[in-house]
């Protein structure tokens, strides 16, 4: 891929991924504190992440790690998802890592094998980064390592699948948002529960599979993603759930559920009026898809996460 093509892709992704303003929210008011920035060194490279923790931690807390979309960054993921609003109320630690890129802490991507951009091209070891990041969190905070949860949007949703299948710290559950699998993923090391969100109006990650619009074609390696339901099928097989899901539908949402053994769960929400956006999240810049209000993905995934513990 030429430099000119890569720059064109980066600019296009920026329009999709970056919100109207880049800022952080914590404890019910907007702020951006330098002391919430952290870093770890992995393979000789310094990687960074934002941590939002509640006051007065007296017992081990769950951790939710939110991965930004391609062309975004950790601050973008915080603003987009709104997970920081749950930190004090739900007593959780929210973490927003930064991907990799050529332009400092802007226009960053994750290595999800077939996507995306710089991280994919350079074969960045994001699995090692996330494991090292969790090690650092364990050293600093009281962490319940049986309640580590992963979520992310688009490229961040894709890497969520990759991480959950291979990382050393087994997550209890994941929640990819407008992400995808590509069909050649190796079997995961262990079962992981999953709640998945996609938009039926998404042209970047099409609901029926395929490379989608020009942004997706330039960001990926040419391997087309599978249809939305393939994500649920992948984790249902790992958890030994039923092979055929149950489908329910209303005016705005199609909900798929796989019958699973006790302690495991796999669900997929296909939001009819949602494009390439975080349902219930913050709207992006002009030209980006506005999120549907048919469901608040953040609230729904947290309700799901609270029912899941690793090792069941």
Q: In this predicted model, what pLDDT tens digit does every residue of 101-157 receive, in sequence order?
A: 986 667 899 999 999 999 999 999 999 999 999 999 999 999 999 999 999 999 999
Reading the block at residue 64, the tokens are 């939710």
For the record, the structure tokens of 292 come out as: 């549907």
148 and 203 Cβ atoms separated by less than 8 Å: no
**Distance from C-alpha of 300 to C-alpha of 88, rounded to nearest angstrom:** 18
Residue 198: beta bridge partners?
A: 270
pLDDT for residue 28 = 35
* Assigned token pair, 133: 């990041």
At the topology level of CATH, where does 3-305 sit? Answer: Rossmann fold (3.40.50)
Q: Is residue 198 scored above 80 in pLDDT?
A: yes
Q: What is the pLDDT of residues 207-229, one digit of tens each?
A: 999 988 755 566 778 899 999 99
Looking at residue 31, its pLDDT comes to 40
Q: What is the pLDDT of residues 26-83, one digit of tens each?
A: 333 334 444 699 999 999 999 999 999 999 999 999 999 999 999 899 999 999 999 9
pLDDT in tens, 255-275: 999 999 999 999 999 999 999
287 pLDDT tier (thresholds 50, 70, 90): low
Please state, for a pLDDT cut of 90, what percent of the chain lies above it: 78
Q: What is residue 176's DSSP assignment? A: E
Q: Round to whole Å and give the CA distance between 167 and 165.
A: 6
Dihedral sign, CA of 200, 201, 204, 209? positive
Strand partners, 39: 48
**96 phi and psi, to 5 degrees?**
-125, 95
Q: Tokens at residue 202, please?
A: 């998404």
Alpha-carbon distance values, 161 to 31, 111, 154, 188, 238 (Å): 31, 11, 11, 9, 12
Assess whether pLDDT exceeds 70 at residue 286.
no
Whether 188 has a pLDDT exceeding 90, the answer reads: yes
**pLDDT recorded at residue 141:** 96
Give the per-residue pLDDT at 5. Answer: 44
DSSP-derived pairing of the beta strands 45-52 and 24-26: unpaired
Number of neighbouring beta carbons within 10 Å of residue 33: 10
Q: What is the pTM of this model?
A: 0.88
pLDDT for residue 312:
61
**Region 156-179: what's the mean pLDDT?**
97
Closest CA to 308 of 265, 255, 276: 265
pLDDT category, 311, cuts 50, 70, 90?
confident
Widest CA span in the chain:
52
Q: Under the phi-then-psi rule, with left for phi > 0, alpha for psi from -120 to 50, and beta for the rest, what region is 69? A: beta
**Residue with the larger pLDDT of the pair 297 and 288:** 297
Pick from 175, 138, 154, 150: nearest CA to 57: 138
> Residue 172: pLDDT above 80?
yes
The rounded distance, in Å, linking the Cα atoms of 215 and 227 is 18
């Amino acid at each position: 891929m030429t430099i000119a093509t890569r720059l064109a892709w980066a600019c296009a992704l920026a329009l999709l991924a970056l919100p109207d303003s880049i800022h952080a929210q914590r404890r019910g008011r907007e702020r951006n504190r330098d002391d919430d920035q952290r870093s770890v060194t992995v393979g000789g490279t310094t990687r960074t992440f934002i941590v939002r923790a509640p006051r007065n931690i007296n017992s081990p807390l769950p951790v939710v790690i939110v991965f930004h979309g391609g062309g975004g960054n950790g601050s973008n993921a915080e603003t987009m998802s709104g997970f920081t609003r749950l930190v004090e109320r739900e007593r959780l630690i929210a973490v927003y890592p930064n991907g990799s890129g050529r332009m400092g802490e802007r226009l960053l991507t994750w290595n999800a094998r077939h996507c995306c951009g710089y991280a994919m091209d350079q074969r960045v070891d994001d699995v090692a980064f996330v494991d090292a990041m969790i090690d650092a969190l364990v050293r600093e905070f009281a962490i319940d390592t049986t309640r580590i949860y992963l979520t992310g949007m688009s490229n961040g949703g894709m890497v969520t699948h990759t991480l959950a299948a291979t990382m050393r710290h087994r997550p209890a559950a994941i929640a990819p948002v407008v992400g995808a699998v590509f069909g050649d993923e190796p079997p995961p090391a262990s079962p992981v529960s999953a709640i998945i969100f996609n938009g039926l109006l998404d042209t970047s990650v099409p609901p029926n599979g395929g490379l989608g619009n020009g942004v997706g074609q330039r960001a990926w390696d040419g391997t087309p993603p599978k249809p939305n339901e393939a994500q649920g099928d992948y984790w249902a097989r790992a958890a030994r759930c039923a092979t055929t899901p149950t489908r329910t539908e209303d005016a705005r949402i199609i909900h798929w559920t796989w019958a699973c053994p006790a302690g495991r769960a796999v669900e997929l929400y296909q939001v009819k009026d949602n494009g390439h956006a975080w349902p219930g999240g913050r709207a992006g810049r002009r030209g980006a898809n506005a999120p549907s209000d048919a469901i608040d993905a953040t609230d729904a995934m947290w309700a799901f996460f609270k029912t899941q513990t690793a090792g069941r």
